Amino acid sequence: MDVILLGTAAGGGFPQWNCACRPCRTARRDPASALPRTQSSVAVSADGARWFLINASPDVRSQLALIPGAGPRPSRELPVEGVVLTDAELDHTLGLLLLREGRRLPVLASPAIGSLLEREGGVLRVARAFADAPFTPLEPGRAACLPDRDGAPSGLTVTAFAVAGDPPRFAPDAPADGATTGLVISDGRSSFACVPGCGALDGATLERLAAAGLVLFDGTCWTDDELISLGYGARTARAMGHVPMAGPAGSLAALAQLPGRVVYVHINNTNPVLIEDSPERRAVTDAGLTVGADGMRFSL
C-alpha cells in the first residue's frame, strides 16, 4: 500500500494569503526554513495504479500532479477512483467542485458528512449539476471495500470511526455525532489511520491508532489558545475540534506512546512546528514523531 501526503496544511494553506504570523512571514522570506504547504489531502493505493483521494482540498488541481499516473486521460475522466472524506469542512471538500469536469466523481463518507454536503453545505448538490457524483455512506465502525471506478475491488478496505469534533461553521446546529471521522485503510496486510481533525484523544481512539502501522494525525495547533493569543479568533483549538499538540493533555505526549509511525498533518499556518529549526519542531522530532510535508510518501 502506498500513501502520499498531497497537502499537509490546514485551511488557508501555508503561508496563508492574508496572514503575517511568524511562521507565515518565515515561509515567505525563506521557504527552505518553513516549507510552504498546500491544504490537507492524502492519496492512497493498493497497487500503485488505482488511487483514492482522502479529502478533496481547494488545492486539488496541483495536488493531482503528485500522484503517479494521475495525468489527463483521453476521455477526460477523473484520474482517481474516488474521494473518501473525513469531514465536511471546506478545506476538505471544496476540491469536489474543482473536480466537477471529471464526469464521474464517487464520494464516500459517514452518513452525517453526506447529509452536511447534500443539505447545509450544498457542495455535493452543486457538483451533481456537472458530474455524476454517487455518494456511498460509510457506517462508522464497519469495514467497507473500496471499489474502483468499474466496481471491482481495489484491494483496500476503509473503516470510518467517529471522533470528537464540532460540525462545520456553516452548519452550527447540525449534530456533531459522525460529522468528524477518522479512517483506517487496510490492504489486508497493513493499515494506516488518517485523522486530520480530532477534538480529543480518548482511549477508544488511541486503541484504533495503536493498531495502525502509520498514523496521520491532526496537527492544527501547538497550543490550545494559539489563535486567541495571536488575536485571530475567540475559540480554543479544542473548541474548534482540534486537540493541540503541546501540554500534558496534548496529542504529542499521547501519540508518542503508539508503536507505529506518527506523522502530523492538517497543520495550521500559525503552528510554530512549521519552522524547521524551532524548539517546537525539535520537541516533535525528539518524541519520535514527524511533521508532515507535501509530497512525503510511505510504503506499507
**Contacting positions for Zn ion (CB under 5 A):** 16, 19, 21, 24, 269
Q: How far is the CB of 222 from Zn ion (least distance, A)?
A: 13
C-alpha distances (whole Å) from 162 to each of 131, 133, 166, 270, 291 are: 29, 24, 11, 27, 24
CA–CA dist 192, 215 (Å, integer): 6
Q: How far is the CB of 23 from Zn ion (least distance, A)?
A: 6
Q: How far is the CB of 27 from Zn ion (least distance, A)?
A: 8
Q: How far is the CB of 34 from Zn ion (least distance, A)?
A: 10
- Between 70 and 221, name the residue whose CB sits nearer to Zn ion: 221
Nearest to 58 by CA among 12, 120, 121, 123: 12
- Between 19 and 42, name the residue whose CB sits nearer to Zn ion: 19
CA–CA dist 133, 139 (Å, integer): 19
C-alpha distances (whole Å) from 54 to each of 76, 109, 166, 202, 258 are: 21, 10, 20, 23, 23
CA–CA dist 79, 92 (Å, integer): 18
Query: Is 124:117 a contact under the CB 8 Å cutoff?
Result: yes
Q: How far is the CB of 300 from Zn ion (least distance, A)?
A: 33
166 residue type, one letter: D
- Between 38 and 269, name the residue whose CB sits nearer to Zn ion: 269
Nearest to 1 by CA among 158, 113, 142: 158
Q: How far is the CB of 41 from Zn ion (least distance, A)?
A: 20
151-166 in b/e form (b: 16+ CB < 10 A) is eeebbbbbbbbbbbbb
